[in-house]
Chain A
Amino acid sequence: EAGVAQSPRYKIIEKRQSVAFWCNPISGHATLYWYQQILGQGPKLLIQFQNNGVVDDSQLPKDRFSAERLKGVDSTLKIQPAKLEDSAVYLCASSYRLAGGQHPEQFFGPGTRLTVL
């Protein structure tokens, strides 16, 4: 079974530039998550999709961050314009949908390391 794919793996940009990240989840996974992980901290959820609908985007800085999941499969996360504090690893994860009370196992991609200069 192929894992979660992300690209690019690394990106260096100047502040105020824009950048986009791409994620292809595991086939059949209805739920897709984008996380931001700053060095030394745990991942912080930015947005969660269920198919192509947004379930939770409460921590997404909507003035500069946007995300979409067209057709309920691939997803892109965009930052425009980038700030120095956006330097982090951006992780994409996907999971099945479970009917019970358990949290489904999330499968993470390798991440994209963004450096904003």
Chain B
Amino acid sequence: LAKTTQPISMDSYEGQEVNITCSHNNIATNDYITWYQQFPSQGPRFIIQGYKTKVTNEVASLFIPADRKSSTLSLPRVSLSDTAVYYCLVGDSWQAGTALIFGKGTTLSVSS
């Protein structure tokens, strides 16, 4: 499975756009990129998943360059409630018996 590297922590203020970049130099052809969010005392929650270019949903955008060796999760206009740990995961289809591996994630702290 491709290994991922992301910053341990980031700080932001309310109303700002936050971009969290994840490096995955050894990503394989069939790998998808998935991001989860985790609040204290809760289980992780799926945010977004993509394969290439750009994916957008009601919560975030995911930017993936052509070489797919990195990806950027973009959170528009963050609020205090976006303070959480964000995990970047890379893997191929679960049908191969391979599960996604969670690293330590990026702890995002949003201040007023």
Contacts and interface: CB of A to CB of B under 8 A. Distances in A.
Interface of A: 4, 31, 33, 35, 40-45, 48, 55-56, 91, 93, 97-98, 100-111
A43 B105 CA distance: 10
Contacts of A42: 85, 87, 102-105
Contacts of A56: 97-99
Main secondary structure on chain A at its contact with chain B?
loop
Interface residues of B, number: 28
A103 B32 contact: yes
Given A33-B99, A48-B99, A55-B97, A103 B43 contact: no
A110 B93 contact: no
B30 A101 contact: yes
Given A33-B99, A43-B102, A48-B99, A110 B43 contact: yes
A111 B43 contact: yes
A109 B34 CA distance: 19
B68 to A, nearest CB: 14
Given A91-B43, A109-B43, A110-B43, A98 B94 contact: yes
Interface string B74-112: 000000000001010101111001111111110000000
12 contacts: A41-B104, A43-B44, A45-B100, A48-B99, A56-B99, A98-B93, A103-B34, A106-B36, A107-B46, A108-B43, A110-B42, A111-B41
Contact of A103 (B93, B97, B102): B93
B30 A106 contact: no
Contact of A105 (B46, B99, B101, B105): B46
Contacts of B61: none
Contacts of A43: 44, 102
Contacts of A31: 94
Contacts of B43: 4, 91, 93, 108-111
B99 A108 contact: no
A102 B44 CA distance: 18
